[in-house]
Amino acid sequence: MANNDNSSSKFTKYDRNRFRKIYPINRFPPSTSFRSSKEVNMESISVAFNGGYQATGNLQGHYKSLPVIMVSPKVPDGLGDAKREKVADQLNVNLFITRMTLTAGKVTFWIEASEKFSGEAAITVVSLT
């Protein structure tokens, strides 16, 4: 069974304005941030499908273990009514990752579609190191 190192970090909410040493009559509104006990790496890429069932992609970052990868069909911008009906059929497809490899810190993954798909897949990666 694979070891998931991404589940062992705690995020804490901080108000950055509380750390300032000024004492105004009216307090500044909270400026919240989140801090983690580990470093967070986020990456977002697009992978093109050319009317087939499978596509391959590579991540640019350097990883120590396999990260969590999320995939979904990308919705094109600025669609008119005529194009929206054509694209609706393409967006009604399931995309899933079938295989991932980690070689010298570089991650390669394979995406498969439930039907023939010509468009782009939006890939989002979140990893704790």
Whether the predicted model's global pTM rises above the 0.85 cut: no
> 23 CB contacts (<8 Å, ≥6 apart)?
none
* Residue 87 DSSP SS3: helix
Domain boundaries along the sequence of the chain: 38-128
Residues 38-128, CATH architecture = Sandwich (2.60)
- Between CA 10 and CA 26 the distance in angstroms is 32
- Give the residue from 9, 1, 125 showing the smallest Cα distance to 63: 125
pLDDT, tens only, 21-62: 666 677 677 788 888 777 778 899 999 888 788 999 999 988
Is the predicted pLDDT of residue 2 greater than 50, yes or no? Answer: no
| pLDDT of 128 above 50 | yes
CA gap 68, 70 in Å, rounded = 7
